[in-house]
Amino acid sequence: MGRLEDKVALVTGAASGIGAACALRFAEEGARVAGLDLQGPVDGAAWDAAVKAAPDAWFREAVDVRDEGQVREAVAAVRERFGRIDVLVNAAGVGGFSVAHLCEEEEWDRTVDINLKGSWLVTKHVLPAMLEQASGSVIHLASVEGIEGMGGSLAYNASKGGVVLMTKNMAIDYAKLGVRVNCLCPGLIDTPLTELLQGEELAAVRNRMLEWHAMGRAGKPEEVAACALFLASDDASFVTGHSLVVDGGWTAGRSATG
């Protein structure tokens, strides 16, 4: 029996990377999966596999998590189709580089609105279903950059710091009502979001970042999905308000001896 048997999971950012890997892993564990994203499945691979594992899987593209009307409508469609929502993964997100005196207002708004406001908006519209059921697990995607500062990453750093504290805030407000709220803080994960760092041009930057991971390598979306599965499942029944690092030792610290 799968670890999410009889559960319905809604995953944002399901077209790509970590969201697609979560959708696939959850489907393999018996969940009925609903995915939403701004775009259609990126190369089809992970989402197509999720659909094969969960034949009644549902996907809607052209849903912008910044737009409350679109989010309200999409979440209502999921409830109508599946009758309930047990797990929410907020994996829709964008990266970006900026420093304070050069960052354009547009860049700040886009990053903070998608990564932080979008995660709140989707949760806002999923919570009524979870409160009715008196059970649910919400998993936000933060980052190691929600815990540590990262030069050159103003808006992203700020958005992910916000996600970590939003997680704790929601955990407190809904703990007695049966809803757990946690977040994941990945290090560098090879997905389309970090494609730039996988090319020749930024090889030096990537190598420096790899050194920050005690394990000396980047992570895979499947490794993040495995941690999301734990937080989604009843195995995490006493875990709420937690920021789980999935970072190959990035935040563990540094070694002076190499």
When asked if residue 98 is in the footprint of ligand NAD (CB under 6 A), the reply is no
- Per CB under 6 A, which of residues 7..26 are in contact with ligand NAD? 12-13, 15-19
Catalytic positions: 156
Q: Closest distance between ligand NAD and the C-beta of residue 35, in Å?
A: 10
When asked if residue 53 is in the footprint of ligand NAD (CB under 6 A), the reply is no
**Which residue in this structure is represented by tokens 């860049």?**
107
Of 27, 166, 12, 131, which Cα lies nearest the Cα of 75?
12
When asked if residue 188 is in the footprint of ligand NAD (CB under 6 A), the reply is yes
x/- letters, 219..238, toward ligand NAD (CB under 6 A): --------------------
When asked if residue 114 is in the footprint of ligand NAD (CB under 6 A), the reply is yes
Q: Closest distance between ligand NAD and the C-beta of residue 100, in Å?
A: 20
When asked if residue 249 is in the footprint of ligand NAD (CB under 6 A), the reply is no
Name the β-bridge partners of 182.
139
- The one-letter code for the residue type at 179 is V
When asked if residue 38 is in the footprint of ligand NAD (CB under 6 A), the reply is yes
- Count of residues binding ligand NAD (CB under 6 A)? 30
- Per CB under 6 A, which of residues 127..146 are in contact with ligand NAD? 141, 143
Query: Which of 46, 88, 166, 189 is close enough to bind ligand NAD by CB under 6 A?
Result: 189
Q: Pairing state of beta strands 179-186 and 136-141? A: parallel
Distance between CA atoms of residues 124 and 246, nearest Å: 26
Query: Which of 10, 27, 65, 139 is close enough to bind ligand NAD by CB under 6 A?
Result: 65
Of 200, 199, 181, 197, which Cα lies nearest the Cα of 189?
197
Q: Closest distance between ligand NAD and the C-beta of residue 66, in Å?
A: 5
When asked if residue 194 is in the footprint of ligand NAD (CB under 6 A), the reply is yes
Q: Closest distance between ligand NAD and the C-beta of residue 50, in Å?
A: 14
Determine the interface stretch with ligand NAD among 26-34, 74-82, 167-175, 190-198 (rule: CB under 6 A): 190-198
Contacting positions for ligand NAD (CB under 6 A): 12-13, 15-19, 37-39, 63-66, 91-94, 114-115, 118, 141, 143, 186, 188-189, 191-194
